């Protein structure tokens, strides 16, 4: 029995085309800027998000860290959400390694930060206060259910940032999921932001890597920070080659993941004792919770599902996250629903 792994889209495996491209990629020393495959990937990434330049980094965490450190000095403050990936899941790197203070605002159910909350959080010119330098948003928003931030909202935050001479960063780990869901190019969604990260190793199915994008001057600063953080890599075109294939061939198929997530949500909502957020899912994430009528908790249900070959993410005492991705087929969705039904019966 094959395992159905819905814990995350990080479990995706590279496609055969990626493996072939990795084996035949022309290589050079990227620390010298001489790896042609990396250079091609960076040029492609910058073009796809509408920025001047891009930098290949090993992970989204490093990309976000380098971005925030490039925008902020020690003691400066970044405004972000209390459910932001950077705040919750990146080991406190901006504070531990950069001395950057964070102001955490409550994320709204739709993943946004209320504009009035952002305005109120911007510090006055007072020597008692840290200096507000940066606002950071996330699209799609992981812990808010894979929801999509609209272009209109991002533009409003961008205008607010400019009025206060602040910079705006986007953790766009799943930016292309947002773009596909909204039916617009990623470059349009990225337009209000001074810097953008996006991940290759989630729904785009490459084995490693993220891209940090921005102006040429910004990327020059980030390159130095990448070196300081240990991210200088040599013949890394063997990895960048998979990223090129991902950007060329894996973006449009994200719509299949969204369709399967909707089918999964529909099926789960029909099971007794399972509740879903109204209107979810918007992309490839399904968040659901066990109602009080179910005597088991999430860990117990997940263990029984695993015995049936279905892996799900437990994100609370009674709640789950299930993520569709390359490698999950229609039959896997039906088997997952059958397994849930058996466990909850």
Interval 132-148: pLDDT, tens:
999 999 999 999 999 99
Question: Could you count the other beta carbons within 10 Å of the beta carbon of residue 297?
Answer: 14
Going by C-beta distance under 8 Å and a sequence separation of 6 or more, which residues neighbour residue 182?
148, 150, 151, 189
The predicted pLDDT at position 297 comes to: 95
- pLDDT tens-digit series, residues 110-166: 999 999 999 999 999 999 999 999 999 999 999 999 999 999 999 999 999 999 999
Task: Sketch the domain layout of the chain as residue ranges.
Answer: 14-249, 253-344
Considering the chain, what percentage of its residues have pLDDT values greater than 70? 100
CA distance 282 to 161: 27
Average pLDDT value for residue range 90-101: 97
Could you tell me which CATH number the domain at 14-249 has? 3.40.640.10
- The mean of the pLDDT values for the chain is 97
CA distance 63 to 213: 9
Q: What band does 345 get if pLDDT is binned at 50, 70 and 90?
A: confident
Query: Across residues 80-103, what is the average pLDDT?
Result: 97
Answer with the residue of higher pLDDT: 276 or 199. Answer: 199
Rounded-to-integer distance, Cα 37 and Cα 22, Å? 10
Q: Let me know: does 315 contact 145? Beta carbons within 8 Å.
A: no
What does the alpha-carbon distance between residue 42 and residue 62 come to, in Å, rounded to a whole number?
16
Overall size of the chain counted in residues: 345
Classified by CATH at the fold level, domain 253-344 comes out as 3.90.1150
The predicted structure's pLDDT at residue 279: 72
pLDDT of 278 higher than 90: no
Interval 212-248: pLDDT, tens: 999 999 999 999 999 999 999 999 999 999 999 999 9
Element (H, E) at 79: strand 77-81
Question: How much is the average pLDDT of 51-72?
Answer: 98
Question: By the 8 A CB rule, do 205 and 14 touch?
Answer: yes
Mean pLDDT score, 169-196: 98
Sorting pLDDT into bands at 50, 70 and 90, what band is 66? very high
Q: What is the DSSP letter of 272?
A: T
């Amino acid at each position: 029995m094959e395992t159905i792994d819905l814990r995350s889209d990080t479990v995706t495996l590279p496609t055969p085309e990626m493996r072939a491209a990795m084996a035949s990629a022309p290589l050079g020393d990227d620390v010298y800027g001489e790896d042609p495959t990396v250079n091609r990937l960076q040029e492609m990434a910058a073009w796809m998000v509408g920025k001047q330049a891009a930098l290949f980094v090993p992970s989204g965490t490093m990309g976000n860290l380098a971005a925030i450190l490039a925008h902020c000095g020690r003691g400066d403050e970044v405004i972000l959400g209390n459910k932001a990936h950077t705040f919750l899941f990146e080991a406190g790197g901006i504070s531990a390694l950069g001395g950057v203070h964070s102001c955490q605002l409550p994320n709204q159910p739709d993943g946004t930060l209320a504009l009035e909350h952002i305005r109120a959080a911007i510090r006055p010119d007072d020597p008692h206060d840290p200096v507000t330098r940066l606002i950071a948003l996330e699209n799609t928003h992981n812990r808010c259910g894979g929801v999509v931030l609209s272009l209109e909202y991002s533009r409003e935050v961008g205008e607010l940032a400019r009025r206060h001479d602040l910079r705006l960063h986007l953790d766009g780990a799943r930016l292309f999921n947002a773009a596909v869901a909204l039916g617009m190019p990623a470059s349009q969604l990225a337009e209000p932001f001074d810097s953008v990260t996006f991940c290759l190793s989630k729904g785009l199915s490459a084995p490693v890597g993220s891209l940090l994008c921005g102006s040429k001057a910004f990327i020059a600063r980030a390159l130095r920070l990448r070196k300081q953080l240990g991210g200088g890599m040599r013949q890394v075109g063997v990895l960048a080659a998979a990223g090129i294939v991902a950007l060329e061939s894996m973006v449009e198929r994200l719509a299949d993941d969204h369709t399967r997530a909707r089918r999964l949500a529909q099926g789960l909502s029909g099971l007794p004792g399972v509740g879903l957020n109204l209107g979810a899912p918007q992309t490839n994430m399904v968040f659901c919770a066990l109602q009080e009528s179910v005597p088991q908790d999430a860990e117990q249900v997940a263990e029984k599902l695993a015995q049936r070959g279905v892996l799900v993410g437990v994100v609370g005492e009674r709640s789950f996250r299930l993520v569709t991705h390359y490698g999950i087929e229609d039959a896997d969705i039906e088997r997952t629903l059958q397994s849930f039904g058996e466990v909850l019966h």
